[in-house]
Amino acid sequence: MTTVRGQLFIGGEWTDSAGGTIEVLGAATGEVIGRVPAGTPADVDAAVAAARAAFPSWRATPMGERLELLRQVELALSARADELASLISAEVGTPLRVSRMLQVEGPRRAIENYRRLLPELPLEEKIGPSVVIREPLGVVACITAWNYPLQQVVGKAAGALAAGCTVVVKPSEVAPLSAFILADLIEEAGFPPGVLNLVSGDRRSGETLVAHPGVDMVHFTGSTTAGRHIGASAAQTVKRTSLELGGKSPNVILDDADLDLAVKVGVANCFTNSGQTCTAWSRMLVHRSQLAQVEALVAQRVARYRLGDPLDPDTNFGPLVSAEQQKSVRAHIRRAMADGARLVCGGPEQPPETPSGYFVAPTVFSDVRVDMRLAQEEVFGPVLALMPYDTEEEAIEIANSTIYGLAGGVWSRDTTRAERVARRIRSGQIDINGSFFNPLAPFGGHKQSGIGRELGVHGLLEFYELTSLQYA
């Protein structure tokens, strides 16, 4: 079936666009599975105008009413979880067996957390003779990537709406369909017109939105290259930006770690969503004396992956999202081979078990040096670099040797040692001995992995301005 969404959601109404049509291709087949409008600058203008007009009354709406409307969306996400999981699996390639948990349950929990945390957030603070108040920032442009399309829209838009901001959403043109369902749910829940607006489109629509003088904040997820461009454009009107960008995250396995467990979790982390995850532990740092053992363990884990149709319940490794992404990842693999990295398994060829679709086999290289491009550049695909080290100090230096600082892991049977090493790694979130992702903790990066934080209390705080009232 082909999902056709012929209108944009602007000012509480489904509205025709004078632009053309964007075709959405299925990751496993390359066939058209959807069509959405290609929004124009005029559509962006209308959406921003609707958001600005709605802002005064929305910010004055009692918090309880705003949160109740979000609760209705949360309930509706649960009711349509199977539909959304199948849709996103078809768009992105995430295996259906994990799509409901990662692609749908995550967004639902984000709303639940915002609803629970916001009433506990102090919005006024007495500092000497002043009262410092937090006020909703204004109109927020939410521009999202394709790898976790619903999570990124909800993580941004739900926090902004809860805080009293209004929103214009521009989803990735590669995977926009779930954003239209969210707009349906916003309409069905009874949100006031203009509080959330949806404009699909290509890069030009995003650029128009970033530069728009009526936008107060740009909340973006995507590549570091795109983030630099957005930051420069937003600076022309001194907008606030929150940029969640790329990563080249290290998984530091110390010489006293449980190797079986560290490799098992590390491989799963790197190859989740076929490696199309900004937080993927794509560099596995291993003591040189244990490199051969780790190579064997990694190869055993990789052999368990079953490539195939992401909608098949038996598939646990799906395709990449597009032909462009497949081409990019294959180029990274070929460069790594040319640079002298040693191929352990996988490679750039089309996997024989999947003769069609945007597939790349899970690929592992060993003896990767810091000066190789594979050790420095984000691949955003199923490619793992094994990097040997000789001392703990060298492992820390390797972990910090890139422009990125988004995530990472440290493994040791000595928790105190693991924590000591983790505290010296410059990353936004570091798991110690395989801890689970905490959606209440702030999510974001150091260095060129981004600016600002998402999720939890710290994510909510991004959507407020501070005003100090001085009293004589």
User: What integer pLDDT is reported at residue 97 of this predicted model?
Assistant: 87
User: What integer pLDDT is reported at residue 72 of this predicted model?
Assistant: 98
Q: Which two tokens stand for residue 323?
A: 């032909």
Known active-site residue 244: yes
User: What integer pLDDT is reported at residue 1 of this predicted model?
Assistant: 75
User: What integer pLDDT is reported at residue 471 of this predicted model?
Assistant: 86
Q: Which DSSP state fits 241?
A: E
Q: Does the pTM exceed 0.75?
A: yes
User: What integer pLDDT is reported at residue 240 of this predicted model?
Assistant: 97
Q: Give residue for tokens 């454009």.
A: 233
Q: At what angle do helices 392-399 and 415-422 cross, to 10 degrees?
A: 40
For the chain, what percentages of helix, strand and coil (3-state, to nearest 5) are there?
45, 20, 35
Longest C-alpha distance within the chain, in Å?
77
User: CB of 331 within 8 A of CB of 378?
Assistant: no
Three-state SS annotation for 345-402: ECCCCCCCCCCCCCCCCCEEEECCCCCCHHHHCCCCCCEEEEEEECCHHHHHHHHCCC
Q: Which DSSP state fits 342?
A: E
Rounded to 10 degrees, the C-alpha dihedral 41/48/81/152 comes to 80
User: What integer pLDDT is reported at residue 436 of this predicted model?
Assistant: 82
Distance, in Å, from the CA atom of 298 to the CA atom of 384, rounded to the nearest integer, reads 10
Coil, strand or helix: which one is 126?
strand
Distance, in Å, from the CA atom of 178 to the CA atom of 453, rounded to the nearest integer, reads 23
User: CB of 460 within 8 A of CB of 114?
Assistant: yes
Distance, in Å, from the CA atom of 223 to the CA atom of 243, rounded to the nearest integer, reads 9
Rounded to 10 degrees, the C-alpha dihedral 113/422/401/384 comes to -70
Q: At what angle do helices 224-234 and 203-211 cross, to 10 degrees?
A: 40
User: CB of 225 within 8 A of CB of 450?
Assistant: no
Question: How far apart, in Å, are the Cα atoms of 471 and each of 109, 126, 132, 134?
Answer: 41, 11, 11, 17
Distance, in Å, from the CA atom of 81 to the CA atom of 76, rounded to the nearest integer, reads 8
Q: Which residue segments constitute the domains of the chain, with CATH numbers given?
A: 3-245+448-470 (3.40.605.10), 250-439 (3.40.309.10)
Q: Which DSSP state fits 34?
A: E
Q: In the chain, which stretches have pLDDT less than 70?
A: none
Residue of 74, 91, 207, 244 with catalytic role: 244
Q: N- to C-terminal Cα distance for the chain? A: 67
